[in-house]
């Protein structure tokens, strides 16, 4: 009797002719995520099997697989030869600590196996009741299900629990994007959602040293690392925005600070994206959440770039964003109380519905090209 981990994938079957490429990506991503652990890897029809691992590593396997896009669910199973005696033993072993009601569900991929699935399930149910009289059968809503998966190649997998994973698509299967990451709650969630759809990520953060502190930057490094865990690592670009903010502060009406600053951010982001072969910009914007996220503000900041701007949270309520932040464990870090560059020179009354023409007029008071060049020369790159 061998312990194995069954890995199931989700949407890859939609990919028609490209399926082979997707499967190869998923396989490589799984292997990379498990590097350093001892195991052997096998592909069987429709799933992967991890074998020959140390039992005390099981939790580590599962927590690493939780961060691999494209992995839909995982089960820890017992594998035995497809003989009735051995399968029965595996069932009894698998549920030895269980309480309550159960049903047995047999899947017979191997039609040569001697008994039809329904009959075999019934027979196993009888043997389980005999061995564990405290259990009861409930075929409609059991407390647990004993899955018996009789495979074509002469062995059977027995398990009870199906652990849901992140689903989505393999990292790298949907191009590459640049995540504009702040220290807030939203942008790490936006990055995670795009990573889940298979996008490889790099990240860009603007800070306003000395108005913002080293700890504020460290917090963003931590958040970027957490997002990077879903994309097999991440490169973080850090740019100093201080001069740009000071110039806006000096030369433009106070209420234009955020509107103009966001246009600079997008322009700089696009240059960095293009220089690094990235195909899209990603922000954590959510419609109407704050003054800088009204449709007029989004139009103003989005109109300075030609790359697509992906805003996966555009229609999310904050409460739902927070739920995902908690689930991916970025929330606790995001709420640490450090200042953000957007809070420096914060106007009392930011523009809610900026008029594009007026915005461009104000912008023409600044030496935009020079300011962007200076900002780009402040770039620091951190590989995470
Ligand atoms: P978040 O929770 O992601 O900080 P927010 O609700 O604070 O978002 P804004 O401050 O308006 O909203 O920022 C909107 C988006 O702009 C962010 O989600 C992020 O993508 C980008 N952004 C904001 N500040 C920065 C920054 N300092 N560096 C890089 N990107 C930023
Ligand atoms: Mg923010």
* pLDDT at residue 342 is higher than 80: no
* pLDDT at residue 339 is higher than 80: no
What are the structural domains of the chain?
Answer: 2-164 (3.30.2130.30), 176-383 (3.40.50.620)
Which residue in 223, 234, 225 sits closest to 199, CA to CA? 234
pLDDT single digits (tens) 221-234: 999 999 999 999 99
Measured from the CA of 283, which atom of ligand 1 is nearest?
20
* pLDDT at residue 19 is higher than 90: no
Q: Mean pLDDT in the chain?
A: 94
* pLDDT at residue 13 is higher than 70: no
Pocket of ligand 1 contains residue 182 by CB under 6 Å:
yes
List Cβ<8 Å contacts ≥24 apart for 342-345: 342/182, 342/258, 342/261, 342/292, 344/208, 344/211, 344/212, 344/245, 345/245, 345/248, 345/249, 345/257
Ligand nearest to the CA of 284: 1
Measured from the CA of 179, which atom of ligand 1 is nearest?
20
Asked which of 56-70, 201-215, 305-319, 345-359 is least confident by mean pLDDT, the reply is 345-359
Q: What's the chain's length in residues?
A: 384
What is the arithmetic mean of pLDDT over 277-305?
92
d(CA 172, CA 68): 11
Neighbours of 214 (CB within 10 A): 11
What was the pLDDT predicted at 328?
96
pLDDT single digits (tens) 75-94: 999 999 999 999 999 999 99
Pocket of ligand 1 contains residue 185 by CB under 6 Å:
yes
Which residue in 85, 115, 117, 82 sits closest to 103, CA to CA? 117
pLDDT single digits (tens) 240-272: 999 999 999 999 999 999 999 999 999 999 999
* pLDDT at residue 15 is higher than 70: no
d(CA 291, CA 295): 10
* pLDDT at residue 12 is higher than 70: no
Q: Which of 178, 183, 184, 297 to mutate to test the pocket of ligand 1 (most atoms within 8 A of CB)?
A: 184
- Please name the residue whose Cα sits nearest to atom 11 of ligand 1: 292
Q: Which residues are 239's β-sheet partners?
A: 206
d(CA 131, CA 273): 63
Token digits of residue 158: 């027995």
The contacts of residue 71 (CB under 8 Å, 6+ apart) are 7, 8, 9, 10, 26, 30, 65, 165, 166, 167
pLDDT single digits (tens) 107-127: 998 888 888 999 999 999 999
Q: How far is CA 337 from CA 68, 188, 230, 241, 318, in A?
A: 30, 16, 25, 20, 18
CA 249–ligand 1 middle distance (angstroms): 20
Tell me which H or E stretch contains 290: none
d(CA 319, CA 155): 47
Q: Which residues are 180's β-sheet partners?
A: 204
What percent of the chain is predicted at pLDDT more than 90? 84
Q: Which residues are 71's β-sheet partners?
A: 9
What is the arithmetic mean of pLDDT over 48-61?
96
What is the arithmetic mean of pLDDT over 28-50?
94
Give residue 178's pLDDT band: very low, low, confident or very high (50, 70, 90): very high
Q: What is the pTM of this model?
A: 0.92
Pocket of ligand 1 contains residue 206 by CB under 6 Å:
yes
The contacts of residue 143 (CB under 8 Å, 6+ apart) are 98, 99, 100, 101, 102
The contacts of residue 37 (CB under 8 Å, 6+ apart) are 53, 54, 57, 60, 61, 64
Pocket of ligand 1 contains residue 118 by CB under 6 Å:
no
* pLDDT at residue 97 is higher than 90: yes
Which residue in 180, 242, 193 sits closest to 213, CA to CA? 242
Decide if 338 contacts 215 (C-beta within 8 A): yes
């Amino acid at each position: 009797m061998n312990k194995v981990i069954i890995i199931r994938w989700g949407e890859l079957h939609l990919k028609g002719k490209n399926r082979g490429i997707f499967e190869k990506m998923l396989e490589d991503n799984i292997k990379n995520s498990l590097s350093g652990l001892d195991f052997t890897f096998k592909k069987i029809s429709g799933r992967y099997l991890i074998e020959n691992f140390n039992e005390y590593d099981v939790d580590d396997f599962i927590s690493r697989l939780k961060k691999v896009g494209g992995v839909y669910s995982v089960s820890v199973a017992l594998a035995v030869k497809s003989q009735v005696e051995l399968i029965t033993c595996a069932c009894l072993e698998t549920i030895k600590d269980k309480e309550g009601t159960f049903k047995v569900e047999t899947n017979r991929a191997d039609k040569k196996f001697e008994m039809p699935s329904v009959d075999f399930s019934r027979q196993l149910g009888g043997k389980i009741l005999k061995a564990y009289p405290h259990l009861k059968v409930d075929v409609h809503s059991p407390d647990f299900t004993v899955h018996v998966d009789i495979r074509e190649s002469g062995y059977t997998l027995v398990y009870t629990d199906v652990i849901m994973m992140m689903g989505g698509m393999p990292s790298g299967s949907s191009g590459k994007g640049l995540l504009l990451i702040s220290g807030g709650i939203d942008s790490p969630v936006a990055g995670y959602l795009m990573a889940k759809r298979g996008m490889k990520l790099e990240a860009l953060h603007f800070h306003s040293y000395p108005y913002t502190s080293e700890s504020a930057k460290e917090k963003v490094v931590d958040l970027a690392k957490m997002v990077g865990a879903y994309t097999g690592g991440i490169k973080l670009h850090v740019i100093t925005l201080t001069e740009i903010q000071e110039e806006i502060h000096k030369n433009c009406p106070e209420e234009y600070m955020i509107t103009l600053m966001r246009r600079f951010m997008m322009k700089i982001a696009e240059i960095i994206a293009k220089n690094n072969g990235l195909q899209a910009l990603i922000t954590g914007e959510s419609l109407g959440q704050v003054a800088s996220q009204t449709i007029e503000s989004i139009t103003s900041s989005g109109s300075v770039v030609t790359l697509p701007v992906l805003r996966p949270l555009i229609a999310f309520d904050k409460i739902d964003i927070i739920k995902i932040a908690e689930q991916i464990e970025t929330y606790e870090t995001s709420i640490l109380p450090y200042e953000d560059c957007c809070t420096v020179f914060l106007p009392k009354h930011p523009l809610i519905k900026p008029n594009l023409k007026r915005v461009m007029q104000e912008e023409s008071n600044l030496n935009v090209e020079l300011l962007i060049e200076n900002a780009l020369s402040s770039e620091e790159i951190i590989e995470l």
